[in-house]
Amino acid sequence: MKHILSITVHNRPGVMSQVSGLFTRRAFNIDSIAVGTTEDPAISSMTIVMKGDETELAQFESQMLKLADVIQVRVIPFHSSVTREIMLVRVKAGIQDRADVLAIVDVFEGNILEIAAESILIEVFGNNRRIKSMIQLLNQYGIIDMARTGQIALAFENDD
């Protein structure tokens, strides 16, 4: 089962290494990680997506709270949250394929950042499923290069 962890930490060198070290020591993989400062430059927010059962999740949560720089750990349920990530992707697109690629970008409400002679640079954001769907459609044209952010998430305020 996938879990989203929202971790508030002191913005100091080595904190990300400490947190990710917990995963390394337990031989767990991080599916996604995103870190950024909050409205307070001394505090950062980390969003980690991991797989594991409820027992493993509880262990990670308690272990993280033992780290000196960890202020708070919250588990954000997938069903009551908004998740987003950004993808930049350069796709092969000569004259013959350009209209088809542009149509895909339009459907996914992406942005064209550059059109070159044989490629198009695209920016798109959305949830993980949306990003994966776009990748699947663009694969037929040939993905030259791709960069993705980790997922970020916030829980809905009212979960009825």
10 Å CB burial of residue 9 (0-12, 13-18, 19+) is buried
Q: What pLDDT is recorded for position 159?
A: 55
**Is the confidence at residue 23, as pLDDT, over 90?**
no
pLDDT, average across residues 86-105: 96
Evaluate whether residue 70 is within a structural domain: yes
Average pLDDT, the chain: 92
Of the residues 21, 54, 76, which one is the last residue of a structural domain?
76
CATH number at residue 23: 3.30.70.260
**Could you tell me which residue, 158 or 81, shows the higher pLDDT?**
81
Pairwise CA distance, residues 98 & 160, whole Å: 45
pLDDT per position as a tens digit, 101-110? 999 999 999 9
- Together in a domain, 67 and 8: yes
Structural domain range at position 128: 85-149
155 in a structural domain: no
**pTM of the predicted structure, to 2 decimals:** 0.82
CATH classification of the domain holding 95: 3.30.70.1150
Per the structure, the count of domains in the chain is 2
* Residue 84: burial class (beta carbons within 10 Å; 0-12, 13-18, 19+): middle
Domain boundary among 76, 99, 117: 76
At residue 151, φ and ψ (nearest 5 deg) are -75, 145
End-of-domain residue from the set 31, 55, 76: 76
CA atoms of 52 and 74, how far apart (whole Å):
16
